[in-house]
């Protein structure tokens, strides 16, 4: 076997493995429109750069038919270890940082990553919210009880940058936030200064055969970016998230 054939074979195997992981990232953990805001492009660069490019390139450089079987085995084993290590790092980073919940709190939705929910806090959640989704994310709401303890807890966590969206004990089905979402909705008149956003919303409405009265238009905070969520108030479901800020 020549070094070019060895590198090509390595490339095919690496591409198949990387393709499976890339599909998981693109369609399960970091789908559009959240992909870039959540760092999905960095993960793909790591996986493609090391597993698809660097690995086969190292094989082409190090492979030499004149070497003994032992030497070739050692070379290829070391290359495989480097690749598998990078692949494991990419999968692990993607898994712990994956999106799990879109949480309505106050006047906005917030995208919550798995790494933001500590196990001890998840234990306090209702049973339906304790198990984080493996792929995809659930759209849910929050209700903070009007008690002294809840007020003190919120005040304490706010000081360290943690809001109700990061406290699973306050998670509830989205239906229970119907009136709060309706009240937080931005109407067409308010959004007139953003014609591209209004056009995007109207395209969503046309596709679903709904009117402005049937939906709520609410900010959706994704890391440092703000998108626009269009919520069906009849079914209390997320119609679409537009990669345009309403603010």
For every residue of 201-228, DSSP letters joined together read HHHHHHHHT--GGGEEEEEEEETTEEEE
pLDDT for the residue numbered 114: 94
Is the predicted pLDDT of residue 226 greater than 90, yes or no?
yes
Cα dihedral sign for 87, 88, 89, 95?
positive
Contact 142, 36 (CB under 8 A): no
Residue 142: what are its φ and ψ, rounded to 5°?
Answer: -140, 145
Q: Measured between alpha carbons, how far is 165 from 116 in angstroms, rounded to an integer?
A: 10
pTM score: 0.81
Q: Measured between alpha carbons, how far is 247 from 244 in angstroms, rounded to an integer?
A: 9
pLDDT for the residue numbered 14: 86
Find, among 50, 52, 48, 30, the residue nearest to 39 by Cα.
30
Q: In what order do the strands lie in the sheet with 171-173?
A: 171-173, 138-142, 99-105, 108-113, 215-222, 225-232, 237-242
Q: pLDDT, tens digit, for every residue of 97-133?
A: 899 999 999 899 999 999 999 899 899 999 999 999 9
Instruction: Look up residue 106 and give its two tokens.
Output: 């106050």
- SS3 state at 98: coil
Cα dihedral sign for 170, 166, 219, 200?
negative
Q: pLDDT, tens digit, for every residue of 31-57?
A: 888 888 888 888 888 888 877 888 888
Average pLDDT over residues 215-241: 93
pLDDT for the residue numbered 192: 87
User: Residues 6 or more apart from 167 whose CB is under 8 A from it?
Assistant: 121, 142, 153, 154, 157
Q: Is 97 exposed, middle or buried (0-12, 13-18, 19+ CB in 10 A)?
A: middle
Helices (H), the chain: 3-24, 40-47, 55-62, 69-96, 119-122, 148-159, 178-184, 195-208
Q: pLDDT, tens digit, for every residue of 132-176?
A: 999 989 999 998 888 888 788 788 877 777 888 999 999 999 999
Taking all residues of the chain, what is their mean pLDDT, rounded to a whole number? Answer: 89
pLDDT for the residue numbered 234: 92
pLDDT for the residue numbered 110: 95
Angle formed at CA 212 by CA 208 and CA 213, multiple of 5 degrees: 110
Contact 218, 229 (CB under 8 A): yes
Q: Which is more confidently placed, 244 or 66?
A: 244
pLDDT for the residue numbered 151: 80
């Amino acid at each position: 076997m020549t070094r070019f054939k060895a590198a090509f074979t390595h490339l095919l195997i690496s591409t198949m493995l990387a393709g499976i992981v890339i599909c998981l990232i693109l369609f399960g953990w970091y789908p559009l429109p959240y992909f870039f805001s959540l760092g999905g492009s960095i993960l793909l660069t790591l996986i493609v750069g090391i597993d698809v490019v660097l690995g086969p390139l190292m094989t082409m450089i190090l492979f030499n038919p004149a070497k003994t079987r032992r030497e070739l085995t050692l070379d290829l084993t070391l290359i495989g270890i480097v690749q598998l290590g990078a692949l494991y790092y990419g999968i692990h980073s993607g898994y712990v940082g994956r999106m799990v919940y879109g949480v309505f709190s106050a006047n906005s939705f917030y995208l919550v990553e798995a790494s933001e929910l500590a196990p001890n806090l998840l234990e306090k959640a209702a049973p339906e919210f304790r198990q984080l989704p493996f792929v995809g994310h659930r759209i849910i709401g929050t209700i903070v009880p009007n008690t002294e303890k809840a007020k003190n807890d919120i005040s304490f966590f706010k000081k360290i940058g943690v809001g109700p969206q990061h406290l699973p004990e306050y998670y509830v089905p989205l239906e229970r936030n119907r009136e709060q979402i309706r009240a937080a909705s931005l109407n067409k008149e308010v959004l007139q200064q953003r014609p591209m956003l209004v056009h995007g919303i109207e395209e969503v409405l046309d596709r679903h055969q709904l009117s402005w009265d049937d939906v709520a238009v609410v900010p959706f905070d994704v890391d440092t970016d703000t998108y626009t969520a269009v919520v069906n108030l009849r079914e209390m479901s997320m119609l679409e998230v537009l990669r345009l800020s309403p603010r």
